Structure 1
Amino acid sequence: MSKQTDDLFKSVVSHAKEYGFVFPSSEIYDGLSAVYDYGQLGAELKNNLKTYWWKSMVQLNENIVGIDSAIFMHPSVWKASGHVDGFSDPMIDNKDSKKRYRADQLIEDKIERYQKDGKDDKAAALQTDLDTALNNDDLPRLKEIIEEHNIVCPISGTKNWTDVRQFNLMFATQMGAMADGAEQVYLRPETAQGIFVNFLNVQKTGRMKIPFGIAQIGKAFRNEVIARQFIIRMREFEQMEMQYFVRPGTEMEWYNKWKETRLKWHLALGFNADNYRYHDHVKLAHYANAAVDIEYNFPFGFKEVEGIHSRTDFDLKQHQEFSGKKLQYFDTEINQNYVPYVIETSIGLDRLFLTLLCNALVHEDLSTEERTDARVVLKFPAPLAPVKAAILPLTKKDGLPEKAREIMAQLKLDHNVQYDEKDSIGKRYRRQDAIGTPICITVDHQTLEDNTLTIRHRDSMLQERIAVADLEKFVADLVSWSPMLKQLI
């Protein structure tokens, strides 16, 4: 990471804390590694991102419905899914620093360094070696690669490594009033299995016909040993997933369709298309016959924000075998019974949140020949902004606060708005810029005379005068979801 990109990332992290978006969890107790709390503005932004995903996934698609399954599930679910036996990362310890690392990530970091140093041939060869070792589950080879390329511990600077071992990422706990006889259960490491075990419930009660999808937003938990890069990799995180059930033999057609559809969804946020790329998986999960990541170019490089996977019929067949219940669909069009194949779209809400912050945070130099000036602004798409409008009386007297409060009462029925009368109007504008509020509504003495207001726009800083009678429609049009959603139809 260059100093410029490092500074940008530090700026995003500090801005998120300073303005109430993200706080370290349990901070008064010095925090808890890889766990974060979303503050008052962060909670609003997260909810708006969920709304955008839910509207585009469920509301726009007649054949996709949403559920909300429990975090705790029967232990056999995770045995059937393969998580009990195979949900692991290759870990390696440095004997001097006593720190543990993911072996593949150490090697990936080395590949990035080779690329930055212009050693593309070395980078390509190392990537091939890594892919081969991962595909073969060759843990000794991973250690050999680390030693061959002189990869050192970032803390101790030494190469005193242990062997590479697999580490299961699931959190286990006990369910029951007494320790004796309590049943071991797991905090779910993904939300997808809650969809699969409810496949028949949804299909029958919703009278769903293939192809159809089931969507869900929910928390997942992974005991990540290596937690880094702020909210990119956390132990408690939120997923937005959709499982799309299709007729066997048509899965690649639907896989390609959802691959294109999901990238289109990200670009509708207004981000630069150059900051996105597809990354096809070389090593496929045990359940998949195709997989691709949509990656975003964060200040620290390209990282996955969403995965699209062709999961075949693995999950439903496994649950059918372990539960003894048939999980099949009778297709009247071809007069045939079968276990459907599945296309999955899975997006990390926390990573999407960080994508939005990184893309929206702008430092603007507003200096002129007469004076030096600058501002920090979050240029969120208006529907996603945590606060939709700020109502600002020009002064604290002459009936202006009363009029401003009247307007506030009118708008807060439909929108999250703020009232602010402290400091100069310029300072109040800057405060709203910093939290991404699309417009500021200024109530002044002219408002009392002709019932008009000044609208100051965040991005352009231009101002216009409108009638109070037109304000509700003006704000509703500004923050409407329709322009974003129409890009997806």
Structure 2
Amino acid sequence: SCEFEQMEMEFFCEPGTDDEWMSYWCDARMSWWQQFANDPSKFRLRPHEPDELAHYAKGCFDIEYDYPWGWGELEGIANRTDYDLKKHAQYSGAKLEYFDPQQQKKFVPYVIEPAAGATRGVLVYLLDAYHEETVEGAKGPETRVVMRFHPQLAPIKVAVLPLVKKNEMPEKAREVVQAFLARGIAASYDEQHAIGRRYRRHDEIGTPWCLTIDGQTMEDGSITLRDRDTMEQRRISIDDAVDEIQRLLAAG
């Protein structure tokens, strides 16, 4: 069976402020998941019914995703009150009170616990990114498969493609790749197959942008920048390529 990997946080707060912090973390966690999604409407926040609550929990919300088989849990956010710390103190003998120097008082903190499955999150973004559309190909209509990852999640940010494997184009393309890597941007060099097939391959990988080195590049220093989602192409200066991709990444 698949090993379950969990991302979990314990947020400690003063009793009486727990409802406010519970609301804060529900909003913050929902916003975090939605910011990387193509379709934020597929996420929802569902409060637990009283019969679903653990005996120690004051309240609990699930962030759910609309999977192909229906709504299911992605992350749980629970107000565990002071149950964990008091139980630990009871059996360990350790004092787990916090002294607030401003209010000059001690209290056992309440715990707000967001907990999410890491691999479940990967599945959600794979489902969110997967897209099929019909486009006109060389031999008529064909299906284009695109992984529309948010640029921050795409494993490769930019692919650099020499149009042909001659006329110093591969060497120039490799120089551009190294310029990206030197700036910490994940870049890939790809010279196999026709340029159209390489575009499709990187659509399926989810690479947001492709840069093509061609004959005109060798003449005037311009290159073709292709957008994954729109398939639009425009010429930019090869000297501006790294800055332009960095700008697009920052824009999200």
Q: Which residue of 2 aligns with 1:241?
A: 8
Measured after TM superposition, the shift of residue 410 of structure 1 is 0.9
Q: Where does the alignment leave 5 or more consecutive residues of structure 1 unmatched?
A: 1-33, 36-235, 485-489
**Mapped partners of 1:430, 1:394: distance in 2:** 15
TM-score by length of 1: 0.49
Secondary structure in structure 1 of the residue aligned to 2:152: helix
Query: 160, 179, 183: which is aligned to 1:410?
Result: 179
Q: Quick one: structure 1 residues 368 and 429, their matched pair in 2 at CA, closer, same or farther if it must change by over 3 Å?
A: closer
Taking the TM superposition and a 5 Å limit, the aligned residue runs for 1:364-375 are 364-367=133-136, 371-375=140-144
Query: 3, 13, 18: which is aligned to 1:251?
Result: 18
Letter in 2 for 1:239: Q
Measured after TM superposition, the shift of residue 271 of structure 1 is 3.5
Secondary structure in structure 2 of the residue aligned to 1:392: strand
Measured after TM superposition, the shift of residue 370 of structure 1 is 7.7
Q: Which residue of 2 aligns with 1:478?
A: 248
**Mapped partners of 2:210, 2:41: distance in 1:** 32
Taking the TM superposition and a 5 Å limit, the aligned residue runs for 1:25-424 are 34-35=1-2, 236-282=3-49, 283-367=52-136, 371-413=140-182, 414-424=184-194
Provide, for residues 191-213 of structure 1, a one-character-per-residue CA deviation record: whole Å limited to 9, x for no partner. Answer: xxxxxxxxxxxxxxxxxxxxxxx
- Contact 2:226/2:233 (8 A) holds in 1: yes
Q: Which residue of 1 aligns with 2:200?
A: 430
Bigger strand share: 2
**Mapped partners of 2:75, 2:34: distance in 1:** 13
Letter in 2 for 1:426: G
**Mapped partners of 1:478, 1:318: distance in 2:** 50
Letter in 2 for 1:241: E
Q: Which residue of 2 aligns with 1:464?
A: 234
Provide, for residues 56-106 of structure 1, a one-character-per-residue CA deviation record: whole Å limited to 9, x for no partner. Answer: xxxxxxxxxxxxxxxxxxxxxxxxxxxxxxxxxxxxxxxxxxxxxxxxxxx
Letter in 1 for 2:148: K
Deviating 4+ runs (over 4 angstroms)? none
Between the two proteins, the alignment pairs up a number of residues equal to 249
Measured after TM superposition, the shift of residue 342 of structure 1 is 0.9
Letter in 2 for 1:256: S
Measured after TM superposition, the shift of residue 288 of structure 1 is 1.0
**Mapped partners of 2:71, 2:120: distance in 1:** 12
- Contact 2:37/2:128 (8 A) holds in 1: no
Measured after TM superposition, the shift of residue 343 of structure 1 is 0.9
Q: Quote the sequence identity (%).
A: 44
Measured after TM superposition, the shift of residue 272 of structure 1 is 2.4
Letter in 2 for 1:399: E
Secondary structure in structure 1 of the residue aligned to 2:96: coil
Comparing 360-369 and 256-265, the one that deviates more: 360-369
Secondary structure in structure 1 of the residue aligned to 2:57: coil
Provide, for residues 27-57 of structure 1, a one-character-per-residue CA deviation record: whole Å limited to 9, x for no partner. Answer: xxxxxxx22xxxxxxxxxxxxxxxxxxxxxx
**Mapped partners of 1:316, 1:478: distance in 2:** 46
Letter in 2 for 1:342: V
Q: Quick one: structure 1 residues 442 and 300, their matched pair in 2 at CA, closer, same or farther if it must change by over 3 Å?
A: same
Let me know the Cα RMSD of the aligned residues: 1.6
**Mapped partners of 1:320, 1:469: distance in 2:** 62
Considering Cα pairs closer than 8 Å and 6+ residues apart, tell me whether 1 or 2 has the greater RCO.
Answer: 2
Measured after TM superposition, the shift of residue 278 of structure 1 is 2.0
**Mapped partners of 1:383, 1:266: distance in 2:** 13
TM-score by length of 2: 0.94
Letter in 2 for 1:333: Q
Letter in 2 for 1:475: I
**Mapped partners of 1:271, 1:382: distance in 2:** 11
**Mapped partners of 1:319, 1:477: distance in 2:** 50
Comparing 270-279 and 408-417, the one that deviates more: 270-279
Provide, for residues 207-235 of structure 1, a one-character-per-residue CA deviation record: whole Å limited to 9, x for no partner. Answer: xxxxxxxxxxxxxxxxxxxxxxxxxxxxx
Secondary structure in structure 2 of the residue aligned to 1:342: strand
Residue 453 of structure 1 pairs with residue 223 of structure 2: yes
